[in-house]
Amino acid sequence: MSMNTQGRPTSAGEAAATAHKTFTGNKALDMEEPLIFEIGRTDICGVDLDEVEDFQPRLGKHERKSEIGLVGLSEPETMRHYVRLSRNNYAIDAGLYPLGSCTMKHNPRLNEKMARLPGFGDIHPLQPISTTAGAFELIDELARWLMETTGTSAVAMSPKAGAHGEQCGMMAIKKALEARGEPRSIVLVPESAHGTNPATAALLGYKVVAIPAREDGTVDVSAVQEKLDLYKGEVAALMLTNPNTCGLFEPQVVEIAKAIHDAGAYFYCDGANFNAIVGKARPGDLGIDAMHINLHKTFSTPHGGGGPGSGPVVLSDRLAPFAPLPFIRKNGSELEVIETRDQLVEGEDPFGRMTAFHGQMGMFVRALSYMLSHGSDGLKQASEDAVLNANYVRVGLQDLMTLPYGEKPCMHEVLFDDTFLDGTGVTTLDFAKAMIDEGYHPMTMYFPLVVHGAMLIEPTESESRASLDLFVATLRDLVMSAKSGETERFAGAPYHAPRRRLDETSAARKPILKWTPPAPAQVEPLVPAE
Ligand SMILES: *Cc1c(COP(=O)(O)O)cnc(C)c1O
C-alpha cells in the first residue's frame, strides 16, 4: 500500500474501485438516495390509522377537495431516508470546517443538554408570563454577559441573525437621527464589507458610499474623513467590521469612531468577527454605537445549513433609548417584561419591533451555557487560541500560497489570494473543489472582494495541532500538485463526492423549482438465462 507524507494510505486500489460499478448505484456506505417523492407512494400511509366514525368536517368550504399529495413512508423508511441524506452533509462534527468569517466552531454537547432541559426546550411564547420567570432571568443574565464583554450598557436581544441585527442597529440609528430632527441619507461602508452591510443600508433607504481599502487591507481614517467632508451633514453612519474581513484589526478604529461622532453620525460595528477579541478588547471602549453579535458564531451553536441564528445588538448610551420592543426592564431584582408602548417610561422610545416574541430561546441557553462553562478566562483563551490557530496555518502556508498584505500576524482568520496559482491553469474554484476530494469543506472563496481570488481560512480554536498539521500538509500537497502541472487533479474535481461539479450557472439562471413525477421505477428481478 502506498502512503502519503503523513503516513496515510493513498490511492492504491482506487482505479479498481471506480471501474467496478455497483448494481444499486451505491458505493458501500455512500448511498444514492432518491427524493422522498420517488421512494414513497401517495396512495399508502406509513402508519395504521383507524377510520374515524361520524367525522363531521368543520372547515366548510375550506375543506380540501384534492389529494394532499404527500407520500406515505413507514417510520424505518423515513428514518433511513433522512439518515442517508444526512451522511452527505459536511459538518463541524465530521471535520475541520475552515469557512472564514463564519466561525464554524465546536458546539459543546453540554450546551445541547442545557437547551433541551424541559423548562427551556418546551417553553411556548404564548404561555403565561407568570410561568416564564426563569427564561427571562436567563435572557437577562445573557444580556449582562454580552454587555460586560462588549463594554456597553444596553442590548436588544430579539434579532434572529447577524443580518437581522444589522437591520435592528441601523433602525435604532435611523430613529435616533429622526428624534434629533435631522434624518440623513448616506451610509459609509468599506469595500471589504460583508454583503449584508450595504444590503442593510440600502434596505433602509440609505445611499451606500464605499470607502476604499488601504494597501494593507485596513481602513484609513483620512479616507473616512474625506467622505464625511464631501457629504457634510448627510452621513448617518459608518458600518465597519472589526476585526475586518481580511482578518486584520483596524488600527485606527478609535480615530475613525471620533471622526464619525464629530460629524454627528453613528458607528455601526459588524461584530461577526468578535471571536478574535472576546476578553481582549471591548468594542464599547473603541467607540461603537451599535454592534450585532452572532451568537451562533462566537458563542457556539451548530449553524450553517439553516441551523438557528441569533444576533443580539449591543447599543451605546446614545442609542439605548431606541431599542426595539419587547425588552426586559430591571427594577432592582425584579424583571419586568415590556411588551407594549403603554408600559414605556420617560427616556424609552423604541423604534418598533423586530420579532413577534423575545428571540431565539434555544440559542440563548446555548450561548449562556458556553459562557458559564468557559468563564471569563476561558472565553479569553478561546479567542487567543483562535488567533494562534489562524497564524499557525498562515505560517505553515505562507511560503507556498500568497498573502495579499504581507507576512504579518493576522487575527482569527488568514486571507490568501490566488497569485500563487498564476500560470498553473488551476483556478481558485478548481482548488476549492480539489479540497472536497481530500475530505475538507473549502475555505471561504472569493470573499472579501478586495483581493483577487480570495481564500479566507478560519480554523477556529476547536482544532488540535494534529488537525491543523494535516490540513496544512493537505493544502501544501495541493499547491505543489498545481505548480507541477497536475491539472487533472483539479479540472474534474471533485472526483469522490456524491455529486461531481455542478453547472452552477444553469442552477442559478434556470433553476428547476417544481418536482414532476418521473415514470415509476421498475426493479426487475434478474433471472438466469435459459
Ligand atoms: C456572518 C456574517 C454576517 C451575517 O450574519 P448572519 O448571522 O449570517 O446573518 C455579517 N457580516 C459578517 C462579516 C459575517 O461574517
Give the pLDDT score at 55: 84
CA atoms within 13 A on the CB side of 394: 24
Q: Do residues 87 and 31 lie in contact, with contact meaning Cβ atoms separated by under 8 Å?
A: yes
pLDDT digits (tens, 9 = 90+) for 91-122: 999 999 999 999 999 999 999 999 999 999 99
3-state SS class at 455: strand
CA distance 257 to 288: 7
How far is the CA of 126 from the CAs of 130, 298, 344, in angstroms?
Answer: 11, 30, 21
Q: pTM of the prediction?
A: 0.90
Q: What are the structural domains, with CATH classification, of the chain? A: 112-370 (3.40.640.10), 377-498 (3.90.1150.10)
Give the pLDDT score at 516: 81
Write out the E strands in 183-325.
Answer: 186-190, 207-211, 235-241, 266-270, 290-292, 313-315
Q: Over the Cα atoms of the chain, what is R_g? A: 27
Q: Which amino acid is at 162?
A: G
119's grid cell: 423548562
Query: Alpha helix locations (H) across 318-404?
Result: 361-397
CA distance 389 to 408: 14
Q: Which ligand 1 atom is the nearest neighbour of the CA of 294?
A: 7
Residues 6+ apart with CB under 8 A from 491: 426, 430
Q: Do residues 403 and 152 lie in contact, with contact meaning Cβ atoms separated by under 8 Å?
A: no
Query: Which residue puts its alpha carbon closest to atom 3 of ligand 1?
Result: 162
| Cβ 198 under 6 angstroms from ligand 1 | no
From the CB of residue 497, how many other CB atoms can be counted at a distance below 10 Å?
A: 15
How far is the CA of 527 from the CAs of 184, 286, 299, 369, 486, in angstroms?
Answer: 79, 77, 59, 61, 46
* Block mean pLDDT (10 aa), the chain, length 530: 54 54 86 88 86 87 87 92 91 94 95 96 93 95 97 96 97 98 97 95 98 93 98 98 96 98 98 98 98 97 82 98 95 90 96 95 97 97 98 98 95 97 97 97 95 97 98 98 96 92 90 79 74
129's grid cell: 408570563
Q: What are phi and psi of 28, to 5 degrees?
A: 50, -115
| Cβ 101 under 6 angstroms from ligand 1 | yes
| Cβ 272 under 6 angstroms from ligand 1 | yes
| Cβ 309 under 6 angstroms from ligand 1 | yes
| Cβ 448 under 6 angstroms from ligand 1 | no
CA distance 310 to 292: 9
Q: Do residues 207 and 187 lie in contact, with contact meaning Cβ atoms separated by under 8 Å?
A: yes
CA distance 10 to 477: 13
Query: Which residue puts its alpha carbon closest to atom 7 of ligand 1?
Result: 162
| Cβ 162 under 6 angstroms from ligand 1 | yes
Ligand 1 pocket mutation pick from 167, 194, 413, 444 by most atoms within 8 angstroms of CB:
194
| Cβ 303 under 6 angstroms from ligand 1 | no
Distance 101 CA to ligand 1 centre (A): 7
Helix 133-150 × helix 361-397 angle, to 10°: 30
Give the pLDDT score at 19: 63
Q: Do residues 275 and 105 lie in contact, with contact meaning Cβ atoms separated by under 8 Å?
A: yes
104's grid cell: 464554524
CA distance 338 to 329: 7
CA distance 334 to 67: 54
Give the pLDDT score at 16: 47
Q: Do residues 200 and 179 lie in contact, with contact meaning Cβ atoms separated by under 8 Å?
A: no
Q: Do residues 413 and 104 lie in contact, with contact meaning Cβ atoms separated by under 8 Å?
A: no
Ligand 1 pocket mutation pick from 166, 196, 248, 313 by most atoms within 8 angstroms of CB:
196
DSSP 22: -
Distance 380 CA to ligand 1 centre (A): 22
pLDDT digits (tens, 9 = 90+) for 22-56: 888 888 888 889 889 888 888 888 888 888 888 88
| Cβ 103 under 6 angstroms from ligand 1 | no
How far is the CA of 288 from the CAs of 282, 398, 448, in angstroms?
Answer: 10, 34, 22
CA distance 90 to 109: 18
| Cβ 161 under 6 angstroms from ligand 1 | yes
| Cβ 245 under 6 angstroms from ligand 1 | yes
Give the pLDDT score at 12: 45
Distance 272 CA to ligand 1 centre (A): 6
Distance 126 CA to ligand 1 centre (A): 30
